[in-house]
Structure formats: structure tokens, C-alpha cells
Amino acid sequence: MSELHALILAAGKGTRMKSDLPKVVHTILGKPMVAYVIDAVKSVGCHKTILITGYKSEAVKECLKDYDVSYVEQLPDQLGTGHAVQCYASAATSRPTDLLVVCGDTPLISRETLKTMLEIHAKEKPAITMMTLIMKEPGTYGRVLRKNGEIHAIREAKDCSKEELEVKEVNLAIYLFNSDFLFDNIFKLSPNNKQKEYYLTDLIEMAVSQGLKVAGCLEKDEQSTLGINTVEHLKEVEEIINAKFKG
């Protein structure tokens, strides 16, 4: 029987939130923003939910004391998304069949698109299924690079060439990994980039180099992908959720 776990990345301080609190504990309509993400992954059938915490992890645990989740700390340094998943893999006592990795600051994450992502993953059986979005102005988002229609790499905007920056399909940092592939490759990541961080996105090229498939799941509702980095973003998302409740 297949087992699906969710890993929520929630270690950041959120320096632009103008607060000493960890970013993910800021509330929307009285509920921590990360709680919306927890509810979403549980709704699509995740058997276990693990949070990667770092900055003031006790504050995160306190605000989620009524939630059935477990924790792994990313300390003392936070060296990127790949490093966060390395911390999880080091602490894991067993492997699920698949691991869904999402960010804790995206409370509008679409449950419907997550379900579609799971269906694609079950049907195509790739090493990785990732969620993407076509944007008119991709800005600082990582670009999805394709060859003959197939995903072959993700390039962080800061590392892109001028030609790659013209790509409109972007990475939403929502991944579904076959756990055997993930555990076999996560510690092969290296911080060989301008940020000197361990990029989870490097696993895309690793999979392709091993002859494994990387599947894409296209999100069509850009609003659902909004991440929260500032107080203004928080208010914007609160208005959207409020409107949905009223609707």
C-alpha cells in the first residue's frame, strides 16, 4: 500500500514581515498561515505531515499544538530548500512511498491542483512531479527549461542567461518525489551557485541525467500561488480568503 507524506518548509524568519515572529505563524482570519497549508495537504490524503522549522521553532510548535504534525529542525544554518530536505532525510526513520514538498507561506494553495498532481504522479510514475505556472512577467521565479516538450532543468532567476529569462513557465516550488529517488540523491546536492545554497531544483537535472522522467502539473490559477513575504501580502491574501468565505 502506497504511503504519502507531506513536508512543509517553514523555517524562515520572514524579515520583511516587520515582526520578530516566524513568518508562518502570522495569522489570516485568526488562523496561522501555515495551518491553511496543513489543511490542504491533509485534504489530498497525506498520511503524515512534517514541518521543517528553524527560526523560533518553539513559537511554530506552540501555535500548531492542536495539529497532528511532526517537526524537523533546520539548524544552525538554513542553506536553502535542498538543505531543508536533507535535514528531513537525515531524521527520517523510514521512507514513505512518495513525498509532497510544499512551502508554508502559500495559504491559497489549490487542493484541486494538488489532486491533479497526485493523479499525474500515479499515472506516469516519474521520479518527480512538479507544479508549474505560465506567467506574463515571471520576475524572480525559477524558470522551467524544456527540451522537446519535456522538463529537463529548473534555473533560478539569478543563475539564468538572458535567453532563459525569456521563458514564461515558472517553478512554484511544489514537488512530489518518488522517495527512493529522493533519498538516493538528496545528499548529492552541492552549493555550486551564486547563492551558495543547496537547491532542491538541482534534483530535476539529476533525474534527467539518470534517464528518469520529470512530470509537470500546470496550475492555471495564479492567485492560488501567492506567497506571503510582507504585511501587504498578508492583507491581500486575507481579503481573498474573506471573499471566498462570503461567496
Mean pLDDT taken over the chain: 94
Is residue 129 within 8 A of residue 99, CB to CB? The reply is no
DSSP code at position 64? T
Mean pLDDT in residue range 153-161: 92
Q: Which three cell numbers stand for residue 176?
A: 512530489
Taking the C-alpha atoms of residue 108 and residue 242, their distance in angstroms, rounded to an integer, is 12
The predicted-structure confidence for 196-225, as pLDDT tens digits, reads as follows: 899 999 999 999 999 999 999 999 999 999
Report whether pLDDT(2) > 90: no
Phi, psi (degrees; rounded to nearest 5) at 175: -130, 150
The pLDDT assigned to 76 comes to: 81
Report whether pLDDT(246) > 80: no
The pLDDT assigned to 126 comes to: 98
At 126, is the secondary structure helix, strand, or coil? coil
Q: Which three cell numbers stand for residue 246?
A: 462570503
The pLDDT assigned to 192 comes to: 84
Residue with the larger pLDDT of the pair 15 and 120? 120
Position 1 confidence tier, pLDDT thresholds 50, 70, 90: low
Position 162 confidence tier, pLDDT thresholds 50, 70, 90: very high
Taking the C-alpha atoms of residue 119 and residue 110, their distance in angstroms, rounded to an integer, is 14
Active site residues: 16
Taking each helix axis from N to C end, the angle separating 231-246 and 33-43, rounded to the nearest 10 degrees, works out to 50
Report whether pLDDT(195) > 90: no
Mean pLDDT in residue range 49-72: 96
Report the helix count and the strand count for the chain, using DSSP H and E. Answer: 8, 11
Residue spans of the domains in the chain: they are 4-246
Secondary structure of 14-62 in HEC code, one letter for each residue: CHHHCCCCCHHHCEECCEEHHHHHHHHHHHCCCCEEEEEECCCHHHHHH
Is residue 142 within 8 A of residue 171, CB to CB? The reply is yes
Is residue 128 within 8 A of residue 225, CB to CB? The reply is no
For residue 180, give Cα distances in angstroms to 96, 104, 188, 232: 9, 24, 14, 40
Mean pLDDT in residue range 168-190: 97
Of the ranges 74-78, 128-132, 191-195, 239-243, which is most confident? 128-132
The pLDDT assigned to 159 comes to: 87
Rama region for 55: left / alpha / beta (φ>0; ψ in -120 to 50; rest): beta
Q: Which three cell numbers stand for residue 225?
A: 500561488
Mean pLDDT in residue range 79-83: 94
Taking the C-alpha atoms of residue 125 and residue 127, their distance in angstroms, rounded to an integer, is 7
Report whether pLDDT(247) > 70: no
pTM for this entry: 0.94
Taking the C-alpha atoms of residue 3 and residue 51, their distance in angstroms, rounded to an integer, is 17
238 membership: H or E segment, kind and range: helix 231-246
Query: CATH number for the 4-246 domain, one of 3.90.550.10, 2.40.110.10, 3.40.50.300, 3.50.50.60?
Result: 3.90.550.10
The pLDDT assigned to 24 comes to: 95
Q: What residues form DSSP beta bridges with 191?
A: none
The predicted-structure confidence for 64-79, as pLDDT tens digits, reads as follows: 999 999 999 998 888 9
Mean pLDDT in residue range 144-167: 94
